[in-house]
Amino acid sequence: MPRNDLKKHIAGTRIKSVDRRAKFLIIGMVNGAELVIHLGMTGRLGIFPQNFPKAKHDHCRIQLDNGKQLIFNDIRRFGSIQVMPPGSSFCNSMQINLGPEPLGREFTPQYLQKLAVGKNRPLKNFLMDNRVVVGIGNIYASEILFQAGLKPERKICRLTKKHWVEVVKSCHYVLEKAIKSGGTTISDFVNESGKNGYFQLELQAYGKQGEPCSCCAAPIKKITMAGRSTFFCPKCQK
């Protein structure tokens, strides 16, 4: 944790903006510095009253001038906090390596098809690559491909425009539904309002191996791709 950088660049200044890029929260300060937070798998960030009791795994507590405090708590320590000094923007430093947002305007069937030319990669790995598109993790990748009716192992160079239209449509459908229902619950995850996300209840493929597909009743299959559990319907997904 960058204690000295926090003191030097963040203490005493004012928050100007709160933004997100990929899985990073970016809190911009009026002096140009940025506080960049990644929640990892179990990180929680929240605003709490002044006298809120200290908890185990509180890695950072920042006193705000309205008497409240911003607390970052992370049980498993996969999360991170970094300070970008004034003049060095986190987005600029990451831009070259990060693809567009899945709900943004640049994420189109044409964009994906162009990128896939001559590439033999499996579709699921392609969608989970941050250089292609940001923010699609393992759970959502399985759900999106179930929705699109495409096998996770499909080679991307063989997909047609029609397939890519389906992929983009399914990304929008699954992610918008997930956002509306508050995110996905895994173990102890809670969203910023402290409530459990409910998307888990509506998963169609992820974690459902052996259970009947909601469309055709064939048992959902589980395989491992790039070291990650992958779920699909062997009948509906082609």
Rounded Cα distance between 79 and 57, Å, is 11
Which of 18/218 has CB closer to Zn ion? 218
Q: Measured from the CB of residue 151, what is the shortest distance to Zn ion in angstroms?
A: 12
Q: Which residue's CB is nearer to Zn ion, number 27 or number 213?
A: 213
As measured in angstroms, the least distance from the Cβ of 146 to Zn ion is 8
Nearer to Zn ion, 38 or 235 (CB): 235
Nearer to Zn ion, 18 or 217 (CB): 217
Which residue lies nearer to Zn ion by CB, 18 or 215? 215
Binding site for Zn ion (CB under 5 A): 213, 215-216, 218, 233, 235-236
Q: Please, how many CA atoms are within 13 Å of residue 30, restricted to the half-sphere of its CB?
A: 5
* List of long-range contacts for 201-206, beta carbons under 8 Å, 24+ apart: 202/177, 203/139, 203/143, 204/143, 204/146, 204/147, 205/142, 205/143, 205/145, 205/146, 205/231, 205/232, 205/233, 206/138, 206/139, 206/142, 206/143, 206/231
Q: Classify residue 205 by its DSSP letter.
A: S
Least gap, CB of 72 to Zn ion (angstroms): 41
DSSP 8-class letter at 191: -
**Secondary structure class of 136 (helix, strand, coil):** coil
The least distance separating Zn ion from the CB of residue 185, rounded to whole angstroms, comes to 24
Nearest distance from C-beta of residue 226 to Zn ion, angstroms? 23
Mapping DSSP to helix (H, G, I), strand (E, B) and coil, where does residue 96 land? helix
> Using CA atoms, how far apart are residues 128 and 37, in angstroms rounded to an integer?
21
The nearest distance, CB 144 to Zn ion, in angstroms, is: 15
Complex with Zn ion: residue 137 or 212, whichever CB lies closer: 212
Q: Which two tokens mark 101?
A: 């947002």
Written as six digits, the tokens of 122 are 């499996």
